[in-house]
Chain A
Amino acid sequence: MITRLRHHDAAYLAAILFLVLLSPPVKRALEESMTIQMLVQIPLLITVGLLMMRALPASVVAATSDWNYRGISGLVLATVTSTFWMLPLSLDAAVTSPLAAVAKYLSVPLLIGLPLALSWPLMSFVIRGVFLTECIATFFRLGWLYLASPERLCNLYMLDDQQRLGHYMLWIGAALFLGIVWKLIWGRFDSHDGRPDIASQ
């Protein structure tokens, strides 16, 4: 879906989405609950970054790939940055401190979404597999933590909100896992470097 967008369409879409997310009423609404901040606001900010990649000229994309063998640099950057935004203290700070809010609105699109979008086409079957497995594990780990913690991890959010988020994260982890199992058994794998599909029978 995203791949078929033309350059300027993607740029417009990214800009509009970003401005909507930035508008104070939307920002406030999305930060009202921990669940919505983590499962709606942050993913939408990542989407802004994914769209930005479509807006980049091909020459820029090619230049980054010299430093991004099989997408590994981009993956490392996105992982390090997302670790930061998974800390409960960052979720609080992003709402209470303007500096942290600016850091979030810039770093999530530019240091998570954009590098992931640049890396994904370069990633081999194995690296994609490691990345997705780590995603699933992270959803389970965080989900379990939020569900099991008897204490509020964010001073801004209620315990029942935190536990609901935990539940949803476990469900998302499970859905991702089933999706990958489905893909491995019945899916097609179009390898980027022209080799034939590595689909199992």
Chain B
Amino acid sequence: MKPLLRTLFVSITLILIGGVALSAVTDRFHAFTSEAVRRIAVRQHPVDVPVVALDTQSGARINISDLRGKWLLVDFIYTRCQTYCAALGNEFAQLQGKLAGPLAQGKVQLISISFDPAHDAPRELTSYLQRSRSRGAGWLAVRPVDPAGLAQLKRSFGITVIPDGLGGYTHNAAIHVVDPQGKLVEIVDLEQSDLAMRTILEGIER
């Protein structure tokens, strides 16, 4: 009977250790994908947005840190994209309408960052905004000036871009909320833009 008892002891210990390890990795069984992990992580530990130089659609050079003091709604796009980015564009256009007041007061800024800077010159960025029916106010389309800046942005926002084999890209599309201190505080799905808006409106009132 002795090996049986030993085996029982070993097995129960292994199950306990395994359970604790799995719980730790999945954030107490809430997150099973890297996307879910990324979203929970920024909510618990907001990430500093790096200081990165950007070209805007009008050809101006700005730094993302110039936008401190405003709430930012950030998405990542490439202008040749037919699927996700088009949907993101529509969503941002709607947010531009719903947030017209705070946008006009300079409390909020919409910003679409291209991860395909080689192709997305200011001209392409302008036509992306036009196609998305931007009303102009408060919505910037930008590209990082140098590849190191792009890499920093992708790392801190947790953006994974993979070539789709058809000349385009697949990427984890989402809406990112950055607070006036320059911290990434929330990531929501495209369909949950109401959540992002609520975070911002509550933040402005506070």
Q: Min CB distance, A97 to chain B, in Å?
A: 10
A155 CA to B25 CA, complexed, in Å: 17
- Whether B14 contacts A156 by the Cβ 8 Å rule is no
Interface residues on A, range: 20 to 34
- Whether B14 contacts A73 by the Cβ 8 Å rule is yes
Type the 1/0 row for A90-108, where 1 means its CB is closer than 8 Å to any CB of B.
Answer: 1011001000000000000
Contacts known (A72-B7, A154-B34); A80 close to B15, Cβ less than 8 A:
yes
- Whether B25 contacts A89 by the Cβ 8 Å rule is yes
Contacts known (A69-B3, A84-B22); A157 close to B33, Cβ less than 8 A:
no
Residues of B within 8 A of A159 (CB): 170
User: CB of B37 within 8 A of chain A?
Assistant: yes
Which of the 9-residue segments A40-48, A51-59, A60-68, A184-192 touches chain B?
A: A60-68
Q: Which residue of B lies closest to A78 (CB)?
A: B14
Residues of A within 8 A of B35 (CB): 155
User: CB of B130 within 8 A of chain A?
Assistant: no
- Whether A83 contacts B164 by the Cβ 8 Å rule is no
Contacts known (A65-B3, A80-B15, A80-B18); A156 close to B162, Cβ less than 8 A:
yes
Residues of A within 8 A of B31 (CB): 89
Within 8 A of B (CB), among A86-134: 87-90, 92-93, 96
User: CB of A135 within 8 A of chain B?
Assistant: no
- Whether B14 contacts A76 by the Cβ 8 Å rule is yes
Cβ-Cβ contact count across A and B, 8 Å cutoff = 78
User: CB of B60 within 8 A of chain A?
Assistant: no
Interface residues on B, range: 20 to 34
User: CB of A158 within 8 A of chain B?
Assistant: yes
- Whether B18 contacts A83 by the Cβ 8 Å rule is yes
Residues of A within 8 A of B33 (CB): 88-89, 92, 153-155
Type the 1/0 row for A149-189, where 1 means its CB is closer than 8 Å to any CB of B.
Answer: 00011111111000000000000000000000000000000
Residues of A within 8 A of B198 (CB): none
- Whether A67 contacts B3 by the Cβ 8 Å rule is yes
Residues of B within 8 A of A83 (CB): 18, 22
User: A88's contact among B10, B32, B160, B162, by CB below 8 Å, is which?
Assistant: B32
User: B32's contact among A81, A89, A158, by CB below 8 Å, is which?
Assistant: A89
Residues of A within 8 A of B4 (CB): 69
User: CB of B11 within 8 A of chain A?
Assistant: yes
Q: Min CB distance, B30 to chain A, in Å?
A: 11
Residues of A within 8 A of B21 (CB): 84
Interface centre among B6, B25, B33 (most CB of A within 10 A): B33
Residues of A within 8 A of B14 (CB): 73, 76-77, 80
- Whether B3 contacts A88 by the Cβ 8 Å rule is no
Q: Which residue of B lies closest to A158 (CB)?
A: B170
Q: Min CB distance, B156 to chain A, in Å?
A: 14
A77 CA to B165 CA, complexed, in Å: 39
Residues of B within 8 A of A96 (CB): 160
Contacts known (A66-B3, A72-B11, A153-B33); A89 close to B26, Cβ less than 8 A:
yes
Contacts known (A69-B4, A153-B33); A84 close to B25, Cβ less than 8 A:
yes
- Cβ contacts A to B, 24 pairs, < 8 Å: A65-B3, A67-B6, A68-B3, A69-B4, A72-B11, A73-B7, A73-B10, A76-B11, A76-B14, A83-B18, A84-B22, A87-B25, A87-B26, A87-B32, A88-B34, A89-B31, A89-B34, A90-B25, A92-B34, A152-B170, A153-B32, A155-B35, A156-B160, A159-B170
Q: Assuming A76-B10, A88-B32, what are 13 further A-B pairs, CB within 8 angstroms?
A: A67-B6, A68-B10, A69-B3, A77-B14, A80-B17, A80-B18, A83-B18, A83-B22, A89-B25, A92-B34, A154-B33, A155-B33, A158-B165
Closest 9 CB pairs between A and B? A80-B18, A69-B7, A155-B160, A92-B34, A73-B10, A69-B3, A76-B11, A89-B34, A88-B33
